[in-house]
Structure 1
C-alpha cells in the first residue's frame, strides 16, 4: 500500500460509511477499492511503459535508462506541483471570498 493511501483511504471509507444506505455500504466500498486500484495500476503501467528500454549495450543502456527516468519523473514532479498550485489558488480564492463577505456583513 502506498504511503498516500494510508491517509486517503480512511477519509474515503468514513465518507462511504457516512452515507449509510442499508446494504449498499459494502458495494460502495468495493467500487471505491476497485476504481482506486484500477487507476493506480493504469498509472503504474504508463510509468513503466515510458521508462522501459530496448536492449542496448551496457553503457548505452545505463545512459538511456537514466535519461528516461529523469524525463518521466521530472514530468510527474511538474504535474504534481501544478496540481498543488491549482489547489492553492482555489483555496486562496475561496478564503478571500469568505473574508470579504464577512467584512461586508460587519
Structure 2
C-alpha cells in the first residue's frame, strides 16, 4: 500500500479497511485480519494498525471479541456508505460545482462527457 504524506497513516489504513468492507472482502460478522497480520501485509508498525482499528471501533464499523479478534459489524457497510456519501456531497461535490461554475461547464456537458467515455 502506498501512503501519502497529507493524511495520517492510521486514517489511511482505516480507509483501506473500509474499502475491504465495501468490496465485501471483509464481510459482516466475519473475522478481519489481526493487527499483526495487517501490519505485516501493509509493512507498518502494529501500533499504527491498532490505532486504525481503535478509530474504526469508535465509529462502530468493527468490534473486538476479546481473545478472538476483530470483526466487521453488521452495520459496517451502511455506516461507511453514509459517511462517505455525506463527505462526497458536502465536500467534494461542492468543490466540483464551484469549479463547473467558474469554468462555465453545464450539467449537460458533464453528462455528455460521461456517456461518451
TM-score (norm 1): 0.38
TM-score relative to the length of structure 2: 0.36
Query: 1 or 2, which has the higher strand percentage?
Result: 2
Q: Which has the larger radius of gyration?
A: 1
Structure with greater proportional helix content = 1
